[in-house]
Amino acid sequence: MNRLEKHFAELKARHEKALILYITAGDPSLAETFDIMKGLAAGGADCIELGVPFSDPIADGPVIQKAGQRALKNKINLHDILGIAKTFRQSYDTPLVMMGYYNPILRFGLQDFAKACKEHGIDGLIVADLPFEEGEEFEAICWQNGISLIYLLAPEMGNERTKSILQATSGFVYCVAYYGTTGTAHAQNGRLDDVVSSIKSMTDLPVAVGFGIDSCESAKEKANAADGIIIGSWLISELEKSGEKGKTALEFAGNVKKAIE
């Protein structure tokens, strides 16, 4: 059981909802990313997602795309992100999940990357453009290194593909709240509660809902149905406006954590 799985088990025992917060590593700089991570951990985040900047981020909406572009201008790469994770891990036990795309991982080398994640304190991976039908090799490698591989799950109820994805997923289930990219305007999915209930009937893994959470009210609403929520674009937007990013991160995490409890 890695840090991520252990922490979710502790949350379940306390009947507590998980707050998972996404930031783009290297935006606006590595030093400020570290300050943000410390703020999120101190504010009560249950898991920090470190977004890997990529040139063709197909799952990301405009806010995260712009953050990624800023990080790419800083020439941030996987080695930099692993390094900041290792530094963070020296003082904090907050689970870390790296979220990115398959090409940089493939270029790094699947075995080498999973091993490096383990050595640097990464607990889970989300690869946005890796369908589970093509993930069997990487799943086995992650499992060997104690890394949770978390697939994105579309808001569908009980079909065979959903069951197959759930069987292949570890750590937690990332349930996408609606079809589209992160942080974009959308019609609320009125069936989300039913979708989450359907997923929970097919797995013992905790279910976290992401995409489109942009207020404490929507955070509370989605947390009612799920075991946790995932927030990215809203947090990044708040950080963009802030001159004290560590303090903003701490207050943001604390306020949302309070709202979902």
Confidence band of 129 (pLDDT split at 50, 70, 90): very high
Confidence band of 60 (pLDDT split at 50, 70, 90): confident
Measured at the CA of 54, the angle between CA 48 and CA 59, to 5 degrees, comes to: 70
Q: Tens digit of pLDDT for each residue in 4-13?
A: 999 999 999 9
- Joined tokens for residue 182: 């992160």
Q: Tens digit of pLDDT for each residue in 158-204?
A: 788 899 999 999 999 999 875 544 544 444 545 788 889 999 999 99
pLDDT computed for residue 154 by the predictor: 82
Measured at the CA of 124, the angle between CA 119 and CA 105, to 5 degrees, comes to: 75
Q: Of 120, 101, 98, which Cα lies nearest the Cα of 47?
A: 98
Q: What's the rounded mean pLDDT across residues 98-106?
A: 96
Measured at the CA of 257, the angle between CA 52 and CA 89, to 5 degrees, comes to: 45
Residue 60 or residue 147, greater confidence: 147
Out of 5, 27, 60, 221, which one is annotated catalytic? 60
Out of 27, 49, 123, 227, which one is annotated catalytic? 49
Q: Is 112 a catalytic residue?
A: no
pTM to 2 decimal places: 0.94
pLDDT computed for residue 190 by the predictor: 57
Q: Is 60 a catalytic residue?
A: yes
The rounded distance, in Å, linking the Cα atoms of 221 and 244 is 29
pLDDT computed for residue 187 by the predictor: 42
Q: Of 163, 175, 179, 156, which Cα lies nearest the Cα of 227?
A: 175
**For residue 140, what are the CA distances in angstroms to 36, 122, 132, 135, 237?**
32, 17, 12, 9, 36
Q: What's the rounded mean pLDDT across residues 203-219?
A: 94
**Poorest-pLDDT segment among 54-68, 135-149, 235-249:** 54-68
| Phi and psi angles of residue 191, each rounded to the nearest 5 degrees, phi first | -95, 10
Q: Tens digit of pLDDT for each residue in 157-166?
A: 778 889 999 9
Does residue 111 carry a pLDDT above 90?
A: yes
Does residue 127 carry a pLDDT above 80?
A: yes
**Poorest-pLDDT segment among 66-75, 97-106, 190-199:** 190-199
Measured at the CA of 71, the angle between CA 68 and CA 77, to 5 degrees, comes to: 100
Does residue 246 carry a pLDDT above 60?
A: yes
All domains of the chain in start order, with CATH: 3-260 (3.20.20.70)
The rounded distance, in Å, linking the Cα atoms of 218 and 155 is 17
pLDDT computed for residue 151 by the predictor: 96
Q: Of 179, 172, 261, 176, which Cα lies nearest the Cα of 216?
A: 261
Residue 57 in 3-state DSSP? Answer: coil
Does residue 81 carry a pLDDT above 50?
A: yes
pLDDT computed for residue 185 by the predictor: 44
